[in-house]
Structure 1
Amino acid sequence: MTTLHRRQFLLGSAAALAAGAISPAFAADAKLRLLFWGGKARADRTFIATDLFSKANPGVTIDGEFMAFQDYWAKLGTQTAGGNAPDIIQMDYRYIVEYAIRGGIAPLDEFVGGALQLDDFDKDQLDGGKVNGKLYGISLGANSVALMVNEAAFKEAGIELPGRELSYEDLPALAAKFNAANKRPGMKLFQDGSGVEPALENWLRQRGKALYTADGKAAFDAQDMTDWFKLWSDLRAADVIVSAEDQALDATDAIENTMITLGKATTTFANSNQLIAFQAVNKDPLTMTNFPRIKAGSGGGHYRKPSMFFSIGGTSANKELSAKFINFFISDPEAAKALGVERGIPCKASTREVIAPTLDAQSKIALEFVSNLGDLLGPLPPAPPANAGEVSTQLRTTSQEVAFGQTSPEDAGPAFFDQASATLARAKKG
């Protein structure tokens, strides 16, 4: 059976043709530049897929480069500003609006039905890649926020793993039990989540609020932020979370520097698709659960988020070829098996069917978690506005100031709200 026939069998003839060899118009040598964030585990999987595409399309090569999340945006911003953006850009939900409205990424609508075959693509994930009604990003997987949990640390202490009903109110008592039985000196129950934007958003959603309104304003107020910083100050005083000095070690969003990987905490705020990458750099077995509820019995603040997108650079000279590569990445059976769920649960039903029998233990945990959120699940919020990334950085900075005792929660709440509001207002004027 030929490769084309096997794809035809698994995906259907229309998708097979789009996923297979490129048209004669692209037969000449061509090089596409691909930029993405992530660690070695993601890169290894990605480069298998790029090699498969080049093998299926002789003469086409993919020049891929990867780096940590924080470093990534600085490099992408510099390249985009200089008119030298990559052809294929890994894009985040937080930044897609900003890059779309500034022309940093190109609309993809003209390729849908041709280079991009999206008939069995999840609608909520497709909608997540739209800005002002136009499609700018193809979701590479659905995920949700999740706590990474060190199973071994809990088992050594003889304490049951935290589960779906865990609340912030439960943390002091749980920490007291853990601290009394902990076999690992210096390890705390939780990281300091006060500077973690997804943790703040999840908590706000449980209070009936949000981070941002649909028109790009703050959807929270100063009192919300005071309460947030006070929550973490109280947890710090109760010996639940790591010290300010330890948390400062996690300054780059690299998995290697997180509190769980450094052995400073049993749990770390992350995303469900990251379990594979976390396990790759942790010797202890890991699992995951949901973010804490605000109180026992309350609903959760989770949603199914596009883990990340592939977008096409606004200045790319190979937009159609880039769209064909993206389609291959999300549709080709062999690429799908190599990629697994490391970037989230695939958004094409046909791709999910292909990979389901091949998943390892961590991948099955991720699939089950995202598929069974239950009362934790709410609607997808609007895409973050331009300058949302700057607000996230401001949150991290303010949280450190509170943690190190340079300001109080009562002062930090209004100060952060004013600063964030000004940042968002400046973005709208720009």
Structure 2
Amino acid sequence: MTLRLDRRQFLMGSSAMLAAGAVGMGPAWAQNATLRQFFWGGQNRADRTYGVNDLFKAATGNTVDSSFLGWGDYWPKLATETAGGNAPDIVQMDYRYIVEYAKRGAIAPLDEFVGGALKLDGFDADQLEGGKVDGKLYGISLGANSVAQLVNIAAFEEAGVEAPNRDTTYDEIREKGEAFKAANIRGGMKIIADGSGSEPMLDNWLRQKGLALYTADGKLGFDADAVIEWFTLWQGFRNDGICVSAEDQALDTNGPLETTMVVMGKAAMMPSNSNQLVAFQTLMTDPLTITNYPRIAPGVGGGHYRKPSMFFSVGGSSANKELAAQYLSFFVNDLGAAEVLGVERGIPCIDKTREAVAPGLDEQNQIALNFVANLGDLLGPLPPPPPAAAGEIDISLLRVLSQEVAFGARSPEDAGQYFVSEATAILQRAS
């Protein structure tokens, strides 16, 4: 039985009545309208979202026509629909893109609906602040999360190597990686995926050094020497068989989770996010867990932060903005919806929904909740939203250069210099 079927059965019970009254305004809503919704994710996220949409329809009579794609395919499709004036009413938005979409008017400010259609009582202040651009609210956080390292527990046990923990450094990853390579399990599985093209992993590494990916005024927060050091670190890992080969890493399309290094059995660890543990576990029989990114040296922290995992925003061209705001309110407030969603999109941002969800969480969800709640000295402040061109720098520059270094087309020195000069030019053009 799929999760969707479970949720439809769930809908038939008492939770349908709960949905109708949980936010205290269901019976007064206009009925028989249809909202278009678009989000990124896998089938597990889709089933949970569809379950909430069923509850919303039962409570209000309004239908949500929903579709989804993997991360890599989502943004080009959303950009195309937005440019054509055909953006969905409800769009899933990321912290790195919210400034760009807000400044272009591609998503709508929600302030006029707060306290009316959009109830935000008890919403975590830091998560609410994360959805603001120039003081206006453009996104409702769907959960707090943190970057995390996905870990295949069974692979480490099979290799006879202790899995990393919150104190593990990059130097210790190398030591463990040598032992892991010597064990030669599963056709030569490596200890870790190639993280050189991972923007969150680079960001975390820079923050531990007291630097930043971007400054508050939208400039680079590091110089070429830092990027050269970053690419050199991973070049050493790659050359020594600590991380996966260039050929294997190229199989990861930054789209479906099925093409990632852990799911494909190429690596025992890879950069991920705390809220993704649930989705990854549905694709694998090996038990998985999460831990933090490596420390740059013993005792150094501050690289992590509690980030809005993603937002729901209302399309700037939507003809149903108020109803879309009501849907957002239902999504984050309704206790029946909270039970359906769990923590797959992150830790709920309202205390009553956290309390409703926590007792029923399975093992993976409990791991995710505890990880985000107990970052301790790893935790630093939430950085400012990335500038409008951050997505282009990530996709068209960092990822491309990481592959060019991996395949030997550029040296770390050349790539580091080029990254800074080209990223600076991209930022200037965008401003």
Residue 428 (structure 2) pairs with residue 425 (structure 1): yes
Instruction: Work out whether residues 178 and 189 of structure 1, in 8 Å CA contact, stay in contact via their aligned partners in 2.
Output: yes
Instruction: Work out whether residues 139 and 310 of structure 1, in 8 Å CA contact, stay in contact via their aligned partners in 2.
Output: yes
Deviations 1:118-147 (A, max 9, x none): 120000000000000000000000000000
Task: Report the counterpart of residue 130 of structure 1 in structure 2.
Answer: 132
2-side partners of 1:63 and 1:154: how far apart? Answer: 43
Higher mean displacement: 165-174 or 315-324: 165-174
Among 389, 408, 412, the residue aligned to 2:411: 408
Q: What's the CA shift for 1:251?
A: 1.8
1-side partners of 2:81 and 2:178: how far apart? Answer: 49
2-side partners of 1:107 and 1:421: how far apart? Answer: 29
Instruction: Work out whether residues 50 and 62 of structure 1, in 8 Å CA contact, stay in contact via their aligned partners in 2.
Output: yes
Deviations 1:146-179 (A, max 9, x none): 0000010111122221100111111221111112
- TM (norm. structure 2) is 0.94
Q: Which amino acid aligns with 1:379?
A: P
Among 17, 21, 25, the residue aligned to 2:27: 21
Among 20, 25, 30, the residue aligned to 2:33: 30
Instruction: Work out whether residues 169 and 296 of structure 1, in 8 Å CA contact, stay in contact via their aligned partners in 2.
Output: no
Task: Report the counterpart of residue 183 of structure 1 in structure 2.
Answer: 185
Q: What's the CA shift for 1:238?
A: 2.2
Q: Which amino acid aligns with 2:272?
A: A
Task: Report the counterpart of residue 91 of structure 2 in structure 1.
Answer: 89
Instruction: Work out whether residues 4 and 16 of structure 1, in 8 Å CA contact, stay in contact via their aligned partners in 2.
Output: no
Q: Give 5+ residue unaligned stretches, structure 1.
A: none
Task: Report the counterpart of residue 269 of structure 2 in structure 1.
Answer: 267
Q: Percent identity?
A: 61
1:398–1:4: structure 2 CA closer, same or farther, 3 Å change rule? closer
SS in 2 for 1:211: strand
Task: Report the counterpart of residue 399 of structure 2 in structure 1.
Answer: 396
1-side partners of 2:428 and 2:267: how far apart? Answer: 37
Instruction: Work out whether residues 69 and 252 of structure 1, in 8 Å CA contact, stay in contact via their aligned partners in 2.
Output: yes
Instruction: Work out whether residues 172 and 238 of structure 1, in 8 Å CA contact, stay in contact via their aligned partners in 2.
Output: no
Residue 369 (structure 2) pairs with residue 367 (structure 1): yes
Instruction: Work out whether residues 336 and 351 of structure 1, in 8 Å CA contact, stay in contact via their aligned partners in 2.
Output: yes
- TM (norm. structure 1) is 0.95
1-side partners of 2:213 and 2:256: how far apart? Answer: 24
Instruction: Work out whether residues 169 and 297 of structure 2, in 8 Å CA contact, stay in contact via their aligned partners in 1.
Output: yes
1-side partners of 2:169 and 2:52: how far apart? Answer: 40
Q: Which amino acid aligns with 1:21?
A: P
SS in 2 for 1:17: coil
Among 162, 165, 168, the residue aligned to 2:167: 165
Instruction: Work out whether residues 216 and 385 of structure 1, in 8 Å CA contact, stay in contact via their aligned partners in 2.
Output: yes
Among 50, 62, 65, the residue aligned to 1:47: 50
Task: Report the counterpart of residue 358 of structure 1 in structure 2.
Answer: 360
1-side partners of 2:114 and 2:300: how far apart? Answer: 41
Task: Report the counterpart of residue 198 of structure 1 in structure 2.
Answer: 200
Count of matched residue positions in the alignment of Structure 1 and Structure 2:
418
Moved runs in structure 1, 4+ residues, more than 4 A? Answer: 1-8
Task: Report the counterpart of residue 74 of structure 1 in structure 2.
Answer: 76
Q: Which amino acid aligns with 2:138?
A: Y
Among 304, 308, 311, the residue aligned to 1:309: 311
Deviations 1:195-218 (A, max 9, x none): 000000000000101111111111
The residue correspondences of 1:290-305 to structure 2 (distance < 5 A) are 290-305=292-307
1-side partners of 2:382 and 2:302: how far apart? Answer: 13
Deviations 1:246-283 (A, max 9, x none): 00000233211110000000001000000001111112
1:50–1:79: structure 2 CA closer, same or farther, 3 Å change rule? same
Q: What's the CA shift for 1:183?
A: 2.6
Instruction: Work out whether residues 151 and 286 of structure 1, in 8 Å CA contact, stay in contact via their aligned partners in 2.
Output: yes
Instruction: Work out whether residues 197 and 403 of structure 2, in 8 Å CA contact, stay in contact via their aligned partners in 1.
Output: yes
1:193–1:30: structure 2 CA closer, same or farther, 3 Å change rule? same
Task: Report the counterpart of residue 56 of structure 1 in structure 2.
Answer: 59
Q: Which amino acid aligns with 2:407?
A: F
SS in 1 for 2:206: helix
1-side partners of 2:348 and 2:175: how far apart? Answer: 38
The residue correspondences of 1:223-302 to structure 2 (distance < 5 A) are 223-302=225-304
Q: Which amino acid aligns with 1:304?
A: R
Q: What's the CA shift for 1:308?
A: 0.2
Deviations 1:71-126 (A, max 9, x none): 11111101111111000000000100000000000000011111111120000000
Among 138, 144, 147, the residue aligned to 2:149: 147
1-side partners of 2:292 and 2:262: how far apart? Answer: 16
The residue correspondences of 1:322-401 to structure 2 (distance < 5 A) are 322-393=324-395, 394-401=397-404
1:148–1:84: structure 2 CA closer, same or farther, 3 Å change rule? same
Q: Which amino acid aligns with 1:17?
A: G
Q: Give 5+ residue unaligned stretches, structure 2.
A: 1-12
1-side partners of 2:256 and 2:17: how far apart? Answer: 41
2-side partners of 1:312 and 1:146: how far apart? Answer: 29
Instruction: Work out whether residues 262 and 268 of structure 2, in 8 Å CA contact, stay in contact via their aligned partners in 1.
Output: yes
Q: Which amino acid aligns with 2:96?
A: R
SS in 2 for 1:311: strand
Q: Which amino acid aligns with 2:252?
A: D
Q: What's the CA shift for 1:3?
A: 6.6
Q: Which amino acid aligns with 2:398?
A: L
Q: Which amino acid aligns with 2:356?
A: V
Residue 326 (structure 2) pairs with residue 320 (structure 1): no
1-side partners of 2:211 and 2:257: how far apart? Answer: 29
Q: What's the CA shift for 1:2?
A: 7.9
Task: Report the counterpart of residue 3 of structure 2 in structure 1.
Answer: none
Task: Report the counterpart of residue 7 of structure 2 in structure 1.
Answer: none
2-side partners of 1:194 and 1:385: how far apart? Answer: 21
Task: Report the counterpart of residue 117 of structure 1 in structure 2.
Answer: 119
